[in-house]
Amino acid sequence: MLSPATDRRTAGRPARSHQIQQGVRERLAPYAYIAPFFLLFFIFGLFPLLFTFYIALFDWNPIGERSYVGLKNFSDLVDDPRFWGALRNTFSIWVLSTVPQLLIALGMAHVLNHVRLRAATLFRMSMLVPYVTSVAATTIVFAQLFDRDYGMLNWLLGLLGFEHIDFTASLWGSHLMIAVMVAWRWTGYNTLLYLASLQAVPRDLYEAAAVDGANGWKQFRHITVPSLRPIIVFTVITSTIGGLQIFTEPLLANPVGGLTCGAARQCQTLTLFLYEQAFGRFHFGYGAAIGVALFVLVVIISAINYLLVTRIRSERP
């Protein structure tokens, strides 16, 4: 049934050494199958991660010159207003994008779960379009739509009698603009995740609630949200880890702003700051220190998330 090799073995007399070799190979096969992952993870993931901590202790430039400076990079970081500004910008953009994105996705999933929609697949596909479109391409489009003088958004604001807003130049304007780009990209994706979970919730639950007179909001509050709790936690954590690493949007949203995202660094995120220091100014050691700070931040926030989740779980069984 199987292969020429099998037929040969059953028909012929394989050499003993060949058989032993075959046996060893069979026993090692599983390790060979999983080896690529561990090899690549070690070389391009784990080792660089540990090496970051090492590089952060040096004044290190691309030619390979380095001198040990101990924790100086970190104390410099603490004293660096650019770092605190980047931290503030990262948090602000993350909150402005994540909160509406997940709330809208929740609402959409709830509404969509209620009806047997015609062309549901087509609709779901349209929600996925932002996800498959590249960040670089969409950022350029949004930057144009948000343009101070000729952007469609400001034109609409003008029609409504408001002043034009210089989104790229102002702190909150640029944060809002970048948050919109991030939210645009991920809302449909998160809606699909929620919708998938909701479909596992028995429809009877909603129907019984409707019979009991629970309206849409009450159903949302008491059935949809509790059923989705695990997936909500998952999306909060992934959006957080993604949100802390925002890079492309601030880089391209403000084309005249360069690596600082504007003269006042008004929308420079931590990853952009890292890139500016390491690859724009070739301060590898300082860049690595920013990388370490980002790691610590991601770990702390993940831990807080975890604690919050377990607490919520124990409070409402």
Partner 1 sequence: MNPAPHRRRSANRIHPAVYFALGGMVFFSAFPLYWMFVVATTDSATAYSLPPHVLPGGNFFHLASLVFEIVPFVQALMNSLVVATSIGVGQAFLCALAGFAFAKLSFRGRNTLFLIVVLTMTVPTQLAVVPQYLIMSRFNWVDTLQALIVPGLVSAFGIFWMRQHIGNVVNDELMNAARVDGATTWQIFWRIAFPVVRPAALILGLFGFVNAWNDFLWPFIVLKSPERYTVQIAIKALQNNRDIDLGLAMSGSFLATLPVLVLFVFVGRRLVQGIMEGAFKG
* Residue list 239-258, contact with partner 1 (CB under 8 A): 241-242, 245, 247-248, 251-252, 255-256
**Cα of 271 vs its chain's centroid, Å:** 13
For residue 179, give every residue at least 6 positions away whose Cβ sits within 8 Å of its Cβ, in sequence order, or none: 93, 96, 97, 100
Residue 130 engages partner 1 in binding (rule: CB under 8 A): yes
- Looking only at residues 175 through 194 of this chain, which bind partner 1 when binding is defined by CB under 8 A? 184, 188-189, 191-193
Secondary structure (DSSP) of 239-295: HHHHHTT--HHHHHHSTTTGGGTSTT-TT--HHHHHHIIIIIS--HHHHHHHHHHHH
Residue 284 engages partner 1 in binding (rule: CB under 8 A): yes
Q: What share of the chain is helix, strand, coil (3-state, %, to 5)?
A: 75, 0, 25
Return the residue of 18, 21, 24, 47 that touches partner 1, per CB under 8 A.
47
As a whole number of angstroms, the distance between CA 54 and CA 147 comes to: 43
Residue 11 engages partner 1 in binding (rule: CB under 8 A): no
Which is closer to partner 1, CB of 45 or CB of 226? 45
Return the residue of 12, 13, 15, 30 that touches partner 1, per CB under 8 A.
30
Return the residue of 82, 88, 124, 229 that touches partner 1, per CB under 8 A.
124
Return the residue of 20, 71, 103, 152 that touches partner 1, per CB under 8 A.
152
Residue 262 engages partner 1 in binding (rule: CB under 8 A): no
Residue 148 engages partner 1 in binding (rule: CB under 8 A): no
3-state SS class at 118: coil
Q: What is the DSSP letter of 44?
A: I
Tokens 């949302």 correspond to 220
Q: CB of residue 56 vs partner 1: minimum separation in angstroms?
A: 9
Q: Identify whether the C-beta of residue 267 lies closer than 8 Å to the C-beta of residue 178.
A: yes
Residue 75 engages partner 1 in binding (rule: CB under 8 A): no
Instruction: Convert residues 53-72 into a mask of x (bound to partner 1 by CB under 8 A) and - (unbound).
Output: --x------x----------
Q: Which residues pair with 59 in a beta bridge?
A: 67
